[in-house]
Amino acid sequence: MTGYVKGGWPRALLLAAGLAAAAAMPAAAAPAAESPWADGLEGRLRLIGGGGAGDSRWLGLTMDLRPGWKIFWRSPGAPGLPPVLDWQGSRNLKSARIVWPAPEIFTSFGFRARGFGGRFTLPIRATVRDADAALEARVAVLYQLCKDVCIPVEATLALAVPPSAAPHPAIVAARARVPKPAGEGFAVWRAERRARALTVQIRHRSRIFAKPVILVEAPKLVRLGRTGPVTAGAGGRVGVSIPILGKRPVPKDFSVRVTLIDGAGAWEKTVPVSAAVGR
């Protein structure tokens, strides 16, 4: 005989309704994932992960370097190389790339270099093949670690990241330092070439920049020299001039990637170089 609860509802019906409601509820998020620390000679490093939707996942390469030691940004600005990541051996990984935060500026062998020191995280956008399966990441990390000398370091890290892994706070913080696309607040992003010099001019409609840094990345066929000091003018204007090195002809049409850093703010834009100026 079917059991009833007070009020006349069959127990089996209530049980079925409860199971259906539980199935409809979203699964609880798993904790953010972290690999064990690996030795990095003058520091340590590990892989972390969590967050994302669909086939997109977020990983992070966290380094904790001893005082004075640095690694390089994607465009070092000095003799050196950025980290190289080899994901061979990973499972359920289609692609992975570093999404670079704005770097700090430091002196390396007389050059104004760009990179990172202390404890920091490089966020990595990963795409998986199966959105419902765990990402089993395995990465060989090769990087240059510099202070008074530069030393090559290699380490292998492995981490399993379930689809439900919660966003890792270190990745969230690192993504907040990634330069934003230049928005409508900017009135001018201009790059011009005169003979063997490249000038970049930026103007914001309302912001006055306190300590601006301008970084310019050119295609491989255009070899840029040391960036000159940033000039600041009235009305949110800043600019910089950079020599073009070598004797080979400069391409007629090319673009540069410009990053503007001012305190905690950072913006970037790909800017075509004016072909009407400079011959």
User: For the chain, what's the residue count?
Assistant: 279
Q: What pLDDT is recorded for position 4? A: 47
Q: What pLDDT is recorded for position 275? A: 57
* C-alpha to C-alpha distance for 200 and 209, rounded to whole angstroms: 16
Could you tell me the residue range of the domain that residue 126 belongs to? 33-178
CATH of the domain at 234: 2.60.40.10
User: Within the chain, which residues score under 70 in pLDDT?
Assistant: 1-28, 275-279
Do 158 and 50 lie in one domain? The reply is: yes
Residue 131: phi, psi to the nearest 5? -70, -20
Do 98 and 217 lie in one domain? The reply is: no
Q: What pLDDT is recorded for position 194? A: 87
Do 62 and 172 lie in one domain? The reply is: yes
Residue 10 belongs to a domain? no
Do 207 and 117 lie in one domain? The reply is: no
Q: Which of 136, 152, 178 is where one domain is finished? A: 178
Helix (H) or strand (E) holding 170: helix 169-175
Do 111 and 150 lie in one domain? The reply is: yes
Helix (H, G, I), strand (E, B), or coil: what is residue 19? helix
Helix (H) or strand (E) holding 174: helix 169-175
Residue 242 belongs to a domain? yes
Split into its structural domains, the chain has a count of: 2
Q: What pLDDT is recorded for position 11? A: 56
Do 46 and 136 lie in one domain? The reply is: yes
In this structure, the number of other CB atoms found within 10 A of the CB of residue 246 comes to 12
pTM for this one? 0.85
User: Each residue of 182-202: pLDDT tens digit?
Assistant: 988 999 999 999 888 999 999
Do 214 and 139 lie in one domain? The reply is: no
